[in-house]
Amino acid sequence: MKKTITLTLLCFLSVISVFAQDQLDRNCGVMENLEFRKQQDPDLEKRMQRIEAFTQNKIQEMQMNRVDGNIITIPVVVHVIYRTSQENISDAQIQSQIDVLNEDFRRTNADADNAWSQAADMEIEFCLASVDENGNATTGITRKSTTRTSWGTNDAMKSSAQGGVDPWDTSQYLNMWVCNIGGGILGYAQFPGGSAATDGVVMGPQYFGSSAKGSGFYLSAPFDLGRTTTHEVGHFFNLRHIWGDSNCGNDFVADTPTHQTSNGGCPIGQVSCGSTDMVQNYMDYTNDSCMNLFTQGQKDRMRAVLEAGGVRRSLALSDKCGGGTPPSPTCSDGIQNGDETGVDCGGSSCAPCQTACSDNEVNLSITFDNYPEETAWTLTNSGGQTVASGGTYGNQADGSTYTEDLCLPDGCYTFTITDAYGDGICCSYGNGSYSLTDASGVLASGGSFTSSQATDFCLGGSPAPTCTDGIQNGDETGVDCGGSSCAPCSTPGTTVLNEGYFETGWDGWSDGGGDCFRYNGSNSYEGNYSIRLRDNSGTRSAMTSPAFDLTGFDQVEVEFYFYANSMESGEDFWLRYYNGSSYSTVASYASGTNFNNNTFYTATVTLNSSQVNFASNSRFRFQCDASANADQVYIDQVTIRGINGSGRVDTIRALGGTTRTENVLESEEDFTIFPNPVKGNTLFVKMPGNTKASFRIINMLGQTMMKGDSVKEINVSNLKSGMYFLEVNDGEETMTKKFIKQ
């Protein structure tokens, strides 16, 4: 009888064991780690939001000018931390994982199929680093024995002080830690924007490598084909889970279908949120054998952080895959080494390059704002060739000053400084500035611009400027004099006529009346203030610029940012131009055609002197023409430029964000919330006139956490501590406030 019971129990336990294995689900700890890191680093959220804005802008640039065939190779170092001999996985198992990464990211994987037409080659490859941080040859693998049974998701394995292994230079290597994480977690990654001290990906040893590429490996089905690492490296390059970690959430990729939640197993044909789930995508939770693709949209997102200005750009430029000691730097290798200034001396340190300048000594000084990683510059000669460049400066401290000496032969040049985010380097996020000087004084200077600022200048014994030399000199205004100073002449260049940020006032613009209002709140693109126009009450729904003398320009460009709210399809606003005698509409923007509500846009309008009269008292006017039911458009960061030359065209593009998180709604017309911060369980909302409204609570990643039809009292007890947005809709208007849950 005892034997029978024992046998029966063993059979029962076997069934349970098989059942448990069949039900084994993928579990990624990336969001758990993110929440931990946000608690440790209060500025992380802000950095990630700015990276997101940069990513969306870069994606639009890439879509307009797509260039394929540029293969990026990422050096990898694998830190194996083991307690048992099984956890001390072999070099062959590690190499099998590198092979899988290369196949998956280049779409040469044997299981690739045509089920999804948007599947794409990421053009990213990986190698085990062959050069360590000291320039010595290496296998790209480190090993460390430990008595620790599990490590969790709080990055202890990344610190030698906690018994783990410190990362190699994270700007040059993709660090991978292989250790037993515990808690059912297969792996996790750090999103772009986190600390360099913890940057990289972590995987359990039984999920690192592929059983299809060798025998005797320590691997656990159904996650034994290397796709856990593919998944985590996707996060490392800024991909989100395909379901957006929310019910029918947003993964910030346009060509992946919306998922209700994660999928396990391989439920091909699963339908949710009105579309077929892409269960084969590497960013779902399906079995390794089910996964086989990234999409073109995911490629654009990953490549954005590797492009110029991206936070992982240095990895794309790393030379740690080369054999032996990396080549000695030269002054023309495109890498900043010491005090090199652009002359190729061929020396080992490049320090002696350009130690004496026999031409024109020019000093560049840049004081950064709070985001030096967004700043870059180029210097081109009159033939359009780049003679010097720099940036971005992710290794510089916020607010620090960078200087560089340039040695330039006689000639004419254009200095262009750029900001990847589009808000210059002064003054919304730090008081940055730049100057380019020589012995005669300042050649170029500034700081308050949008995406870029260009200045032309000439040096030394170059030919005296003329009105046809293509260089802007002083106050040239359009008459061909042929003289040495060319003061009355007009040659290509740009003059900023007006900048309207509205932070301290109207910046020269005038208030049209009751339906025009200087607004303070999150619908402002930069800073806190913008100009709100609403309804269609003529000039009362308008803002008008000061007068400009445009008679000396070939073109005039108006660049502005806007955000529309509650405008029905077809309702529009205009940009109007006064030519000295009358106003005419020069641009019109209609809801549903040119823009959508609740999204920031940037637009430029260009007028040509050959088509409209440029008068000495020209003006511009923004005017709303929507119906009289609280339809609103918010105009911000208006820059008017006079241009000598041609080639500018009208543009409009969405900026991707739906709210500017740096701002706080304080307008007299807004609803009120209290208490803030919320220390208890209830957030109280007071609407003007006790208006009824629905609400939605959104976290800092744009995910919907709560929603409801009654906004008077909201129970927020289930929200974790942190910052959130309360979005309120009264049927005509959507308003947003930021609050903190303690």
Per-residue pLDDT band for 701 (boundaries 50, 70, 90) equals low
**The pLDDT of residue 24:** 64
What's the pLDDT score for residue 332? 34
Give catalytic residue positions: 232
Mind listing the pLDDT tens digit for each residue in 509-545?
Answer: 999 888 899 998 888 888 888 999 998 888 999 999 9
Task: Specify the pairing of strand 174-178 against strand 72-82.
Answer: parallel
Cα separation of 665 and 726, whole Å? 11
Superfamily of domain 71-110+118-239+294-324 in CATH is: Collagenase (Catalytic Domain) (3.40.390.10)
Q: Which of helix, strand or coil describes residue 265?
A: coil
Q: Please report which confidence band the pLDDT of residue 565 belongs to, taking 50, 70 and 90 as the band edges.
A: confident
Q: What is the pLDDT of residue 579?
A: 93
- Name residue 561's beta-bridge partners: 602, 636
pLDDT at residue 16, as a whole number: 35
pLDDT of amino acid 345: 34
Superfamily of domain 672-741 in CATH is Immunoglobulins (2.60.40.10)
For the segment 482-486, the average pLDDT, to the nearest whole number, is: 36
The confidence score (pLDDT) of residue 464 equals 42
Q: Is the pLDDT score of 235 beyond 50?
A: yes
Per-residue pLDDT, averaged over 588-593, amounts to 90
Banded model confidence at residue 180, pLDDT cuts 50, 70, 90 = very high
pLDDT digits (tens, 9 = 90+) for 17-55: 333 334 468 999 999 999 999 999 988 988 898 888 888
- Separate counts of helices (H) and strands (E) for the chain: 7, 37
Amino acid code (one letter) for 432: G
The pLDDT-based confidence of 445 (bands split at 50, 70, 90) is confident
CATH fold of 497-654 reads Jelly Rolls (2.60.120)
- Asked if 260 and 79 count as a contact pair (C-beta separation under 8 A), the reply is no
Q: What is the DSSP letter of 12?
A: H
CATH class of 360-460: mainly beta
Choose the weakest-confidence range: 338-352, 390-404, 414-428: 338-352
* Region of poorest pLDDT, from 90-104, 137-151, 559-573: 559-573
The rounded mean pLDDT for the chain is: 82
**Which token pair is 653?**
């593009």
Could you give the percent of the chain with pLDDT greater than 90? Answer: 46
Pinpoint the residues of the chain covered by CATH 3.40.390.10.
Answer: 71-110+118-239+294-324
pLDDT category, 356, cuts 50, 70, 90? low
Q: What's residue 69's pLDDT?
A: 77
- Per residue in 194-218, pLDDT (tens digit) is 999 999 999 999 999 999 999 999 9
Q: What is the pLDDT of residue 468?
A: 45
- Residue range 141-146: mean pLDDT, rounded: 97
Q: Which helix (H) or strand (E) holds 518?
A: strand 516-520
pLDDT-based confidence at residue 688 (cuts at 50, 70, 90): low
Question: Tokens representing 243?
Answer: 């379901």
Reported as a single tens digit per residue, the pLDDT across 245-282 is: 988 888 999 899 999 999 999 999 999 998 999 999 99
Averaged pLDDT for residues 429-439 = 86
First to last CA, the chain: 61
> Where in the chain are all domains bearing CATH 2.60.120.260?
497-654
In this prediction, residue 690 carries a pLDDT of: 57
Is residue 488 reached through a cis peptide bond, with omega within 30 degrees of 0 on the bond before it?
no
